[in-house]
């Protein structure tokens, strides 16, 4: 029974996600270990999918079902994770709680927190110990927010309880997984994201895209939502729905972000911990705004060449470009100008995306052109950052702050240059630069 509890507790399952023959599943239901609930319930003028919360009428389809010989509704919204139909219930475990205590929980992180980090870490532990429901950690890019939550995670794991770190971005899951594995080497850990191949696996510590949380229900005692302001968390109501559903009553939810949305700060009464300082205690690089007469779409501005060639320190360069199309036009131009340099481009649809990012991280590339997919969650040690056409609408204030936050993350080279090329300063550019300066000021005041 212990194995079943580990495998099924806290999940909301379709029949074919339970790898048990019918007679065994029926026996477990009879003994009261599994319960069933309808997958689609009727609302006034529509239905609601109990897995993803979808209520939009156009996102329900009709299918002729071979089981019941009639046509009925299914949810199109969460179809990628298997079809939720009106005739097929969702299963959830109500048997004994899983026992995660078998292994000795070693917390092996050997780093040291700065004073600011350890104050924040204490607030996290205190919130967990006192059953505080929500805590917002507003921590600048490069402040080491993952390390700030480690002690709190260890605390919950030691209580034989479950922890989930959820983020809208699969890249962030991939980046964080090895770091958690080395900090908690004896804890069972799973990383869930589309294409991970592990999405039916369970563990005491789950790192997941918010999307994969649709499969969970009443599972976690500590939920950490990383980069909550990142697309598509707010654009898609099923993601906040999924995270709410995945936590247990009385759980603590920590929101980690470098760029909280204004509405979150204004209207929320959520207690906030502010971490204005980077872990290496150097200020955030302040972007230089470079005004051009006209920002060319598919050619490089001359001032870029000039800057690239005359830099006193030849760091790797990450160039942010507004659209996939433009990256494809600009790549051959820069490659042919610098035939000796190793230059590549990535975007969301690039099948070699992960390899190229790894190459850049390993310093095997000199320049990487990218769309906003690398705006956050990825760490490269010492780079300069350029945004071409920073006035383009894809670069909102949060994106620009995150992008600038990619530079100067290394202790040995903490400065890095950030350049915003544009042909007229937008509100986003101005506010991004202003908020970075404000953080630096706060960090300095904190030290005095």
Q: Mark the segment that binds Zn ion (CB under 5 A) among 12-20, 57-65, 337-345, 404-412.
A: 57-65
Helix residue spans in 338-422 (DSSP H) = 353-361, 397-404
Site string for Zn ion, 70-89 (x = CB under 5 A): -----x-xx-----x--x--
d(CA 292, CA 438): 26
Distances 38 to 12, 69, 86, 87, 219 between C-alpha atoms, Å:
11, 19, 7, 8, 19
β-partners of residue 209 are 167
User: Minimum Å distance from CB 77 to Zn ion?
Assistant: 5
d(CA 176, CA 209): 12
Residue whose CB is less far from Zn ion, 40 or 183:
40
Q: Rule CB under 5 A: is residue 59 a binding residue for Zn ion? A: no
Q: Rule CB under 5 A: is residue 154 a binding residue for Zn ion? A: no
Q: Binding residue for Zn ion (CB under 5 A) from 54, 208, 212, 372?
A: 54
d(CA 7, CA 202): 6
Q: Binding residue for Zn ion (CB under 5 A) from 64, 67, 69, 130?
A: 67
User: Minimum Å distance from CB 237 to Zn ion?
Assistant: 12
Residue whose CB is less far from Zn ion, 84 or 386:
84
User: Minimum Å distance from CB 57 to Zn ion?
Assistant: 13
Q: Mark the segment that binds Zn ion (CB under 5 A) among 45-53, 136-144, 297-305, 344-352.
A: 45-53
Residue whose CB is less far from Zn ion, 11 or 51:
51
**Largest distance between two CA atoms of the chain:** 75
Residue whose CB is less far from Zn ion, 54 or 327:
54
Q: Binding residue for Zn ion (CB under 5 A) from 1, 68, 129, 354?
A: 68
Of residues 188, 186, 37, 20, the one with CA closest to residue 107? 186
CB 367 within 8 A of CB 327: no
CB 400 within 8 A of CB 390: yes
User: Minimum Å distance from CB 185 to Zn ion?
Assistant: 37
d(CA 40, CA 90): 9
User: Minimum Å distance from CB 90 to Zn ion?
Assistant: 10
Residue whose CB is less far from Zn ion, 51 or 123:
51
CB 190 within 8 A of CB 207: yes
Q: What do you get for the CA distance between the two ends of the chain, in Å?
A: 57
CB 315 within 8 A of CB 180: no
- Which are the contacts of 423, defined by CB distance < 8 A and separation ≥ 6? 291, 292, 293, 294, 295, 389, 391
Residue whose CB is less far from Zn ion, 12 or 28:
12
The structure tokens listed for 172 are 């962030």
User: Minimum Å distance from CB 68 to Zn ion?
Assistant: 4
Q: Mark the segment that binds Zn ion (CB under 5 A) among 52-60, 159-167, 171-179, 358-366.
A: 52-60
CB 403 within 8 A of CB 322: no
User: Minimum Å distance from CB 434 to Zn ion?
Assistant: 41
Q: Rule CB under 5 A: is residue 48 a binding residue for Zn ion? A: no
Size of the site for Zn ion (CB under 5 A): 12
Q: Binding residue for Zn ion (CB under 5 A) from 52, 135, 284, 330?
A: 52
Residue whose CB is less far from Zn ion, 82 or 185:
82
Interface residues toward Zn ion, by CB under 5 A: 49, 51-52, 54, 65, 67-68, 75, 77-78, 84, 87
């Amino acid at each position: 029974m212990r194995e079943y509890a580990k495998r099924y507790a806290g999940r909301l399952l379709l029949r074919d996600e339970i790898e048990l023959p019918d007679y065994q599943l029926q026996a477990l239901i009879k003994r009261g270990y599994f319960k069933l609930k309808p997958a689609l319930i009727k609302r006034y003028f529509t239905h609601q999918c109990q897995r993803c919360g979808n209520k939009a009428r156009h996102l329900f389809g009709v299918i002729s079902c071979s089981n019941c010989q009639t046509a009925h509704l299914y949810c199109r919204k969460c179809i990628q994770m298997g079809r939720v139909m009106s005739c097929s219930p969702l299963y959830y475990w109500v048997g004994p709680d899983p026992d995660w205590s078998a292994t000795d929980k070693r917390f092996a992180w050997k780093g040291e927190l700065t004073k600011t980090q350890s104050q924040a870490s204490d607030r996290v532990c205190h919130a967990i110990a006192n059953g505080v429901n929500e805590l917002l950690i507003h921590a600048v890019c490069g402040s080491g927010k993952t390390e700030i939550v480690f002690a709190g995670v260890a605390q919950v794991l030691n209580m034989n309880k479950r922890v989930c770190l959820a983020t809208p971005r699969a890249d962030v899951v991939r980046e964080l997984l090895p770091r958690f594995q080395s900090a908690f080497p004896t804890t069972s850990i799973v990383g869930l994201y589309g294409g991970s191949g592990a999405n039916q696996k369970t563990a005491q510590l789950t790192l997941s895209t918010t999307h994969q949380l649709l499969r969970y229900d009443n599972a976690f005692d500590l939920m950490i939502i990383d980069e909550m302001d990142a697309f598509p968390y707010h654009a898609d109501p099923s993601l906040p729905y999924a995270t709410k559903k995945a936590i247990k009553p009385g759980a603590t939810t920590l929101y980690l972000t470098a760029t909280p949305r204004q509405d979150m700060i204004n209207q929320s009464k959520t207690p906030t911990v502010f971490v204005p300082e980077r872990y290496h205690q150097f200020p955030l690089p302040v972007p230089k705004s470079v005004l051009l007469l006209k920002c060319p779409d598919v050619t490089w501005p001359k001032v870029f060449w000039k800057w690239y060639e005359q830099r006193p320190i030849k760091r790797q360069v990450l160039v942010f470009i507004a659209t996939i199309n433009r990256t494809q036009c600009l790549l051959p131009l820069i490659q042919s100008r610098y035939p000796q340099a190793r230059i590549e481009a990535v975007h969301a649809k690039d099948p070699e995306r992960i390899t190229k990012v790894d190459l850049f991280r390993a310093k095997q590339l000199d320049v990487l052109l990218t769309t906003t997919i690398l705006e956050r969650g990825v760490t490269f040690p010492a780079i300069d950052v350029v945004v071409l056409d920073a006035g383009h609408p894809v670069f909102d204030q949060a994106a620009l702050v995150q992008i600038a936050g990619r530079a100067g993350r290394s202790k040995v080279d903490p400065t890095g240059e950030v350049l915003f090329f544009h042909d007229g300063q937008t509100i986003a550019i101005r506010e991004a630069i202003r908020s970075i300066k404000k953080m630096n000021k706060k960090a300095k005041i904190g030290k005095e």
